[in-house]
Structure 1
């Protein structure tokens, strides 16, 4: 082959290689798609609220290890579908069957803080009356601690909604409230409009007797039935503004249509106190309520402490005692 032909072949080869390289460089490159990092769409929102002690509580998420120190509040939590891992106990108080075997952290007024903290709770619920002094140790341990009161029907409605939010069962809480409202309206609608019977409510303990002036669920139930508490205007006790010192002379002067008794503690001891301090007194026997058998010892779980979603039972129980012709005879 001549040198001129070889030169031409080399030139053609270079031209072809040039075009091949050019075509390769201009072709679209293959891009490997990258998967974006997954972003959680259901990240829980924190829940903030103010308790009845004025404390601001923030829960970063739905609590999973709740400890409840009051039977009243435990009953309410369970009624709206919530659950707890431990509870405090109290003599004479009932709790839901599903809560009976919960871990015990002591009595309602004698909580074992070491045992409580060992459970690593993410929320502790207590009573404004009994548990304020636990705030220091729980705050120091960075355990969310909420204090509540459950005295009135209004308290019940407010706390039921809040407990539903805490437990993630707000829908059930609202359903239960609608049901209770309906039952309460049906009961109170039958109250005679032309009657307003008078009453007093006595607190009996093994060592004392006092008259309830205000701030008790039993008084609110009586008011729903259009009853008049004649002890409301009595001078308050020095140690308890909601009660008045017991004075048989004053009660004879008021002479109410009904006398209701609430026993604090063991019923047998309370009944003994009634027999020893009241039953033998001629002035007591002269009272209209005693002579006409309108004296009743009321169940503490329905009238002394707020019964929660059993409040309709409280209304019906008292209505049968006061208006038997309308509601039927009670116990």
Structure 2
């Protein structure tokens, strides 16, 4: 497989994190902080109409009794809000309390046969990858709400949106405030200096720099680091990432290099070091000389971590404190 094919396939997976910068709304409100809701109750059932991250108005059972989540972030949020999951992403961690929940593929490739068998009344998908699947999901009698996240604020909007859908507004706001509290805690205990950091999205043969408008870039900023790629030109197809520029990287001399990957962390790290060997200039940067090249946990950074975004922030802060 050539590099272009690898780039295309791996970056599709990268978009599991999503963006949703405008935030979802309920009945047309663009702010998810205090949206109005439209709930209709009949003798048979109740429904709620929401506007998801793809700006689609969707009417779903209120609250939904059977939920399928195609991404780890949505799965985590539904579980935190007490929703009933009947289907989960195949890529999700094999936690003991998930063993009885059917794996149904991912946002990149869902298993329609399994989803049909589970008879969910709500399927949560990705606004970029699953927009094409909405008609198919509706054809089996289910409803699809699309989400995505390229910032902590977007994750908070996801929590509020699903809180509305699940009739768990208070719990959702509690989770949102918990995230805000973690951010305030970091802001009140600033690092002695702001380490210069390069964040790399990596897959064997493919390495890109994460920009500040990516989820990992936003996390880095909140944790107190400086993204040396902040002014790199974004890629046309993937505006949250940029091509690596060895000359500019050497000039910026990052104190730390952080690698994000969806899998094969050791292979990705080994491949990165082999890439550096091609250009000896890499060996002169502080991060390499001081052994500050790290692969970040894929469950926290390789995809939207949902409510565990506070763990991702804590992981970054711990690493930044080691920078020198």
Answer yes or no: same fold by TM over 0.5.
Answer: yes
Q: Residues 237-287 of structure 1, C-alpha deviation per residue, up to 9 Å, x if partnerless?
A: 343222111232231122223221212321132123123212564211111
Equivalences, count: 284
**Contact 2:195 2:255 (C-alpha < 8 Å) held by counterparts:** yes
Q: Which runs of 5+ in 2 are unaligned?
A: 1-40
Distance (Å, rounded) in 2 between the aligned partners of 1:296 and 1:308: 22
C-alpha displacement of 1:190: 0.3
1:109 equivalent in alignment to 2:108: yes
Distance (Å, rounded) in 2 between the aligned partners of 1:56 and 1:96: 34
Any residues of structure 2 matched to 1:160-179 within 5 Å, and which? 160-179=159-178
Distance (Å, rounded) in 2 between the aligned partners of 1:153 and 1:176: 12
**Contact 1:83 1:167 (C-alpha < 8 Å) held by counterparts:** no
What RMSD in Å do the two structures reach over aligned CA positions?
2.6
User: Structure 2 vs 1, CA of residues 264 and 62 (structure 1 numbering), >3 Å: closer, same or farther?
Assistant: closer
**Contact 1:260 1:296 (C-alpha < 8 Å) held by counterparts:** yes
SS of corresponding position for 1:46: strand
SS of corresponding position for 1:118: helix
Q: Which residue of 2 aligns with 1:4?
A: none
User: Structure 2 vs 1, CA of residues 225 and 109 (structure 1 numbering), >3 Å: closer, same or farther?
Assistant: closer
C-alpha displacement of 1:324: 4.6
Q: Which residue of 2 aligns with 1:46?
A: 47
1:87 equivalent in alignment to 2:88: yes
* TM-score, structure 2 normalization: 0.78
Q: Which residue of 2 aligns with 1:257?
A: 255
User: Structure 2 vs 1, CA of residues 305 and 60 (structure 1 numbering), >3 Å: closer, same or farther?
Assistant: closer
C-alpha displacement of 1:60: 4.1
Q: Which residue of 2 aligns with 1:312?
A: 310
Q: Which runs of 5+ in 1 are unaligned?
A: 1-39
Highest CA radius of gyration, 1 or 2? 1
Q: Which residue of 1 aligns with 2:216?
A: 218
SS of corresponding position for 2:85: coil
User: Structure 2 vs 1, CA of residues 238 and 58 (structure 1 numbering), >3 Å: closer, same or farther?
Assistant: closer
**Contact 1:126 1:148 (C-alpha < 8 Å) held by counterparts:** yes
Distance (Å, rounded) in 2 between the aligned partners of 1:276 and 1:118: 46
**Contact 1:81 1:173 (C-alpha < 8 Å) held by counterparts:** no
* TM-score, structure 1 normalization: 0.77
Is the deviation greater in 68-77 or in 164-173? 164-173
**2:294 aligned residue (285, 293, 296):** 296
User: Structure 2 vs 1, CA of residues 243 and 123 (structure 1 numbering), >3 Å: closer, same or farther?
Assistant: same
1:74 equivalent in alignment to 2:72: no
User: Structure 2 vs 1, CA of residues 97 and 172 (structure 1 numbering), >3 Å: closer, same or farther?
Assistant: farther
